[in-house]
Amino acid sequence: MRPEFHLLPADAAASATRLDSLALCLLLLCGAVALVLFVLMVGFSIRYRAGSSADRTHVPKKGLPVEIAWTVIPLLLFLGIYAWGAIDYVKLYQAPGNAMPVFVVAKQWMWEAEHRNGRREKGQLHLPLGRPIRMVMTSQDVIHSFFVPDFRVKQDVVPGRYTSIVFTPSRTGEYRLYCAEYCGTEHAMMLGRIVVMQPAAFAQWLDAGPRQPGMAARGYALYRRYGCSGCHDPGSNVHAPDLTGLLGRRVHLADGRELTADEPYVRDSILVPTKDVVAGYAPIMPSFAGQIGEEDILAIIEYIRESAHDELPRGR
């Protein structure tokens, strides 16, 4: 094999080229500013060194046009860079409607992923080419960091909350997943393999493997097992909100706040029910903290999400 030299890792996600150009632009701009300052500094030091015969009469007292120029031009340039960076940053966290959620639970010292149909994998992650992926991630123990240099994606994975990141794989192949959390050496050994496949091959892969219930079906079983249904089923005689189609719905809270129900909201509702009490209901829901594991909470959330559609996985 011929040794190859690359300044940057492969650009295997749709946003990688843009992020590379941004980094390059920032580097060139800062480099140019540093160069100008340095050249002027050295030039003036030589020219006006002690004992030089440079003309020191007619020292200008004011140079308003120059001062305005050196303030306004860099300001505009850097504000431009800021806007560019801000737009790309927002894109990393805004999932388009057709984004495919993939759930990750990090633990000492391993990455575990689950796809919506229930296919699970450890230390690996299979993804389809060309489809926006929204990673929904949490940790079972300490902070980890999901880092895929080839996608230009790095996101902290934090116990007690969900973090997410969006990217679109743009090249088939295998890529390295790292844990970039730097506390203790063992994070460095949390290596994973990301396999980007053609959509048809991915669909086949997704359907193969040991048969297990999909996440939503597993979530439904848990929803019954933990007694959520006893209060939340429409037929129940406890006064509790109907969870059907909750994700994405505007929720009015008893303290007057209003928010859109997303995954972190549902997770908090299960673990810290008193934090966001729904308007019109008594705060009687017990906390399930310490009773339901992260993977099971993700499954229950998937059940609630699916319940908005008609193909309810009930009983399956």
CB of 259 to ligand HEC, least distance (A): 9
Q: Residue 194: which of Cu ion, ligand HEC, none does it interact with, CB under 5 to 8 A by kind?
A: none
Nearer Cβ to ligand HEC, position 190 or 304?
A: 304
- Residues 49-88 touching ligand HEC, rule: CB under 6 A, are none
* Binding of ligand HEC by 299 (CB under 6 A): no
* Binding of ligand HEC by 166 (CB under 6 A): no
Q: How many Cβ atoms from other residues are within 10 Å of residue 135's Cβ? A: 25
* Binding of ligand HEC by 269 (CB under 6 A): yes
Helix axes 294-306, 215-225, angle to 10 degrees: 100
Q: Residue 247: which of Cu ion, ligand HEC, none does it interact with, CB under 5 to 8 A by kind?
A: none
**How many amino acids of this chain bind ligand HEC (CB under 6 A)?**
26
Asked if 181 contacts 187 with a C-beta cutoff of 8 angstroms, the reply is: yes
* 3-state SS, residue 133: strand
| 226, HSE (Cβ side, Cα atoms, 13 Å) | 22
Among 12, 194, 288, 294, binds ligand HEC (CB under 6 A): 288
CB of 223 to ligand HEC, least distance (A): 6
Burial of 189 (0-12, 13-18, 19+ CB in 10 A): exposed
* Binding of ligand HEC by 293 (CB under 6 A): no
Phi, psi of 228 (to 5 degrees): -60, -40
Round to whole Å and give the CA distance between 248 and 269.
15
Beta-bridge partner residues of 195: 126, 174
* Binding of Cu ion by 144 (CB under 5 A): yes
Beta-bridge partner residues of 166: 134
Nearer Cβ to ligand HEC, position 173 or 286?
A: 286
Per the rule left: phi > 0, alpha: psi between -120 and 50, beta: everything else, 309 is: beta
- Residues 201-260 touching ligand HEC, rule: CB under 6 A, are 226-228, 230-232, 238, 240-241, 243, 246, 251
Asked if 97 contacts 130 with a C-beta cutoff of 8 angstroms, the reply is: no
CB of 123 to Cu ion, least distance (A): 12
* Binding of ligand HEC by 277 (CB under 6 A): yes
CB of 287 to ligand HEC, least distance (A): 10
* Binding of Cu ion by 137 (CB under 5 A): no
Among 104, 129, 266, 299, binds ligand HEC (CB under 6 A): 266
Asked if 140 contacts 107 with a C-beta cutoff of 8 angstroms, the reply is: yes
Whether omega for the bond prior to residue 109 falls within 30 degrees of 0, making it cis, is yes
Which residue, chain included where needed, has tokens 């090249």? 171
Q: Residue 273: which of Cu ion, ligand HEC, none does it interact with, CB under 5 to 8 A by kind?
A: ligand HEC
- Binding residues (CB under 6 A) for ligand HEC: these are 226-228, 230-232, 238, 240-241, 243, 246, 251, 261, 266, 269-270, 273, 277-278, 281-285, 288, 300
